[in-house]
Copies of this chain bind each other. A is one copy, B any other.
Amino acid sequence: MTEDDTAAASFGGPATAARSMELLWGTKPPPSRGRKPGMTLERIVAAAVELADAGGLDGVSMRRVADRLGIGTMSLYRYVPAKAELQDLMLDAVMGEAPAVSGATGWRDGLERYARASLEGYRRHPWLLRAVLTRGAMGPNQAAALDAVLRVLEGSDLSGGERMAVVGLVAGYVRGVAQQLAGDTRAARGSGGGFAPLIGGHLDPATYPALTGVWRDEDLERAEDPFEFGLRRVLDGIAALVESRRVAT
């Protein structure tokens, strides 16, 4: 499930993602008749987030969320149609906790702030890496963050599509770095913090000359934070684009 139903119901089915959007955006008027709800969606989502922060995404089960709230497991389904939708809500919830790009002085500064704030978010909630991956619904908080970043680009003469691509580029870069950092549980023999996913005594210099060479190098210098280094590279590329558009106008 989770990815299959978006793929299977590819042509107009109820497609769980649609229900996610209703939950994320729609505030359907509360019914006038009947018993009052004893729980709120917000509390459920908050509990799930806490659980995920503590024990990873796999630590979040419907039973555990319900137990933590002191209610029956099936009561959760009064507020959330399924677990996948709960994950969407969790994602949007943590998106709303970062101020991100508040007082940026220009597009470059703004993108830098955005990138660093995103990385910090991934560090605080490592499960975001997996949650972002599996589903693709955008909530109001995520939309607000995206809107803020786009506003930062308003000074430039980029087109709409170009701005979107630029933001996607930076966001993708940060996610990549965050994943590498998450994979590094101080990789192998405490060497490079940059890439290094667990290489022990393996790796023959004869068959992997370039790779082993890099390994030796990296031990020697360790000059700069790989995140900032790559970020500068990305922003340089964007700067080249911005420049070209400014001249071409």
Contact = CB atoms under 8 A, between A and B. Distances in A.
Interface of A: 1-4, 6-7, 10, 15, 17-18, 21, 25, 55-59, 126-127, 129-130, 132-138, 143-144, 146-148, 150-151, 153-154, 159-169, 171-173, 175-177, 179-180, 182-187, 192, 194-195, 197-200, 202-203, 207-211, 213-218, 221-224, 226, 229-230, 232-238, 240-241
Given A214-B150, A230-B168, A4 B129 contact: no
Contact of A147 (B177, B180, B208): B208
A136 B183 contact: yes
A151 to B, nearest CB: 4
Contacts of A240: 233, 236-237, 240
A197 B137 contact: yes
Contact of A237 (B25, B213, B237): B237
Nearest to A172: B176
Contacts of A1: 58
Contacts of A187: 136
Contacts of A179: 132-133, 172
A176 B177 contact: no
A119 B244 CA distance: 27
Closest 9 CB pairs between A and B?
A172-B176, A160-B217, A237-B237, A136-B183, A150-B210, A160-B214, A233-B237, A236-B237, A136-B197
A21 B237 CA distance: 37
A194 B137 contact: no
A1 B180 CA distance: 19
A169 to B, nearest CB: 5
